[in-house]
Structure 1
């Protein structure tokens, strides 16, 4: 009898132990309903306050998409609700989903090394002040190059020599662009810009073509953009312009060709440069009303002016995508470079690029990937990137979760920074990782 009682007690304790373990484990599991309610609430508030006209959001892990929702409209006319096939201008998310992914592939194939130098690969930079900058420095933004150069502004002038922009609105400066007003008498440099097609000229907007001779001045400006802060963190678009040139010089292929190889292997088709070549205008969300350079509401062409100068294919920007396509890339990265059993990237390369190699110097940055100093929103192993147009994606290998938020907050103007003031994306990221 004692043996039976002891056995029952043992079984009961074992059951209770298992049950307690299950309850403990369930606390760490993802509560879809609770998180969906939170996201719905955040989105309702954001749309009511005008953070952006609409958005796509996906939450998932390395095995599955857990939440996938669309909100609002493509723009404030509210004629076209956001749908899953719509693609957004990713802006600086292109840095990792384009040039960085290709670099990871090439490093894994031993075709390039992170110690390779700009001047050794790209002839135009040989014997220039930036010749010995390496892939590592460019991808970690420790090259010492200035943040950006407004190349396109040298294509513009005024007949009376007045400034292109003014802080004050007037008859001469009637239209707002960001926080400045635009001179109404702007003239385009006919030596470099044409509003009709010309042989061998590069299309940079639907009605604008650029003389490729202009690139000589662009490369010269980049080669002298050193700020003598090498080794310190300065986030710079120029770094990824150089990464693009280096990988193209090394492979003999263009960046859009190299990225398409990876996307094809992943089976994703709603991602790429120059979206009107692979989707319809109706499936592209509009970005900003550009009263300055293109005199139009940008739709189907890249918002970033530097990427536009390069025909929409650039290392710093240019990619368009829907959230679903990006979710596949997130799953591949969380699976150590594999997707559906196929190795896309080497696991060792994924780990190297998504770690923080310079934290001893107080630099919280991966190779290409954005990382943050741990705070109330971000953890040490988080990695991802954001985009100027209002885009965000981050992953956490510890919680095995990712979040993608695509918006066009710059529609109709980039002055709308409400989503940043509210820490909108960071709050949702914190929520799904709790």
Structure 2
């Protein structure tokens, strides 16, 4: 009897230990009120200091949305409040929410392979220096390609023979663009650009159409853009433009069509390329006042010039969305590719793309997805992406939380980097993971 009693006590202690261990390691519940107060304070401070004119923020988990809020206005005229249905230019978040998402689907369906070589798939690169680059290298930014090419500047010249840009303001250079001043005598190349519609021309802005013959010269430039050591990490817009070409060649479909098929499965409609085709101009948040190329406040058309040249549909940029639509994608990713009982992406593919396969080389990057070296803001398994226009989304698969922040910090100018200097997004990300 005594031995039985001792065994019962031991079993009880073991169970108690397991319970305590489980309690200690259970996911801490989300304090919605406390986090909302923190986010409100951060955003109100940012609006007061003009980090950006307005924002949409969503905080959620794999099966719940805790916070969905809109702040501020479309621009500093303060005429139009930000609403839930308004869409933001996502800039480089397009790399994952567009091209990478499509790549994940195609890999899962065995329609493309991570070891497929660029030259074997896209014939124009067959006998070039970049022919052997693999889809894996393109998605992990380890190709050695330079960070980007300003394709559009070869479409511009000046009637006075002076440079396009100057570091000094003067009578000939009156208007600011980024940190440079623009020559007032800009001339557009009429061989390639038209200010009225033409047969087979591609619309690149509301009053601007491009001769598709221009693309040949652009692709020739990409083919000789491998100026860095292959295998080393260098983030490049060119990589995702090439991913787009590989996927379009493999499937015979355009990137926007491939992406829309996934969005339709997720039943989200406030996301896509060329937003004026599926929402009103009033619901598109404006970005920069472009004094250089388009001579206008960019609204309803992509901010990124490379994506604009490609007709608004590009692997590197071009997506517009509201935060609510992105939250559905986040929940699908945290649920291992499943949403509302439907398997959108293969679980093993989600795992493969969001892990960091090159950490041993000191490269903190997923396939398409951004990852960060663990620090005070980011944990080892976090993944997501940011965008030049002032956009951010990250997911933590350990506690199944995500954060989406959409802003237009480039309005009226891209020189405004206050939100980055203040670590605005990382601070909120840290807070919701406390």
Q: Smaller-chain TM-score range?
A: over 0.9
Q: How does 1:29-428 map to 2 (within 5 A)?
A: 29-428=29-428
Cα gap change, 1:26/1:249 in structure 2, threshold over 3 Å: closer, same or farther?
closer
1:161 Cα shift? 1.7
Question: In structure 2, do the counterparts of structure 1 residues 351 and 18 end up closer, same or farther at CA, with 3 Å as the change threshold?
Answer: closer
Name the SS of the counterpart of 1:124 in structure 2. helix
- Report the Cα offset of residue 160 of structure 1: 2.4
Partner residue in 2 for 1:8? none
Deviation at 1:273, TM superposition (A): 0.1
Native 8 Å contact 2:165 2:181 kept in 1? yes
Please give the secondary structure, in 1, of the residue aligned with 2:293. Answer: coil
Equivalents in 1 of 2:126, 2:162: separation in Å?
A: 37
Q: Per-residue deviation at 1:399?
A: 1.1
Q: Residue 81 of structure 1: SS of its match in structure 2?
A: coil
Equivalent-residue separation in structure 1 for 2:105 and 2:17 (angstroms): 46
SS at match of 1:69: strand
SS at match of 1:36: helix
Q: In the aligned structure 2, how far is the partner of 1:19 from the partner of 1:221?
A: 62
Q: Which runs of 5+ in 2 are unaligned?
A: 1-12
Deviation string, structure 1 residues 59-111 (Cα, Å, up to 9, x no partner): 00000111100000010000001000000000000000000000000000011
Q: State the distance in 1 between where 2:74 and 2:399 align.
A: 32
Checking the alignment, whether the CA contact within 8 Å between 2:27 and 2:399 is kept in structure 1 is no
* Aligned counterparts of 1:264 and 1:320: Cα–Cα separation in 2: 15
After superposition, the C-alpha distances for 1:133-158 in whole angstroms (9 at most, x for unaligned) are 00000000000000000000000001
Counterpart in the other structure of 1:3: none
Deviation at 1:228, TM superposition (A): 3.6
CA-CA distance at 1:23 after TM superposition = 7.9
- Residue 5 of structure 1 corresponds to none
Structure 2 length normalisation: TM-score? 0.95
Aligned counterparts of 2:56 and 2:137: Cα–Cα separation in 1: 33
Q: CA deviation at 1:18?
A: 12
How many angstroms does 1:427 deviate by?
A: 0.3
Deviation at 1:276, TM superposition (A): 0.3
**Aligned-pair Cα RMSD in Å:** 2.0
In structure 2, what is the Cα distance between the partners aligned to 1:253 and 1:206?
25
Aligned counterparts of 1:59 and 1:45: Cα–Cα separation in 2? 19
Runs of 4+ residues over 4 Å off in structure 1? 16-27
Aligned-partner SS, 1:146: coil
Matches of 1:79 and 1:26, distance apart in 2: 46
CA distance in 2, matches of 1:406, 1:163: 36
User: What is the rounded CA distance, in whole Å, between the counterparts of 2:108 and 2:19 in structure 1?
Assistant: 45
**Structure 1 length-normalised TM:** 0.95
Indicate the SS of the match to 1:67: strand
8 Å CA contact retained: 2:331, 2:339 = yes
Q: Distance in 1 between the 2:228 and 2:17 partners?
A: 62
Partners of 1:88 and 1:124 lie apart in 2 by 34
Shift of 1:378: 0.3
Q: What is the Cα deviation at residue 27 of structure 1?
A: 7.8
- Alpha-carbon distance between aligned partners in 2 of 1:348 and 1:19, rounded to the nearest angstrom: 31
Say how many residue pairs are matched. Answer: 425
Deviation, structure 1 residue 28 = 1.0
Alignment match, 1:7: none
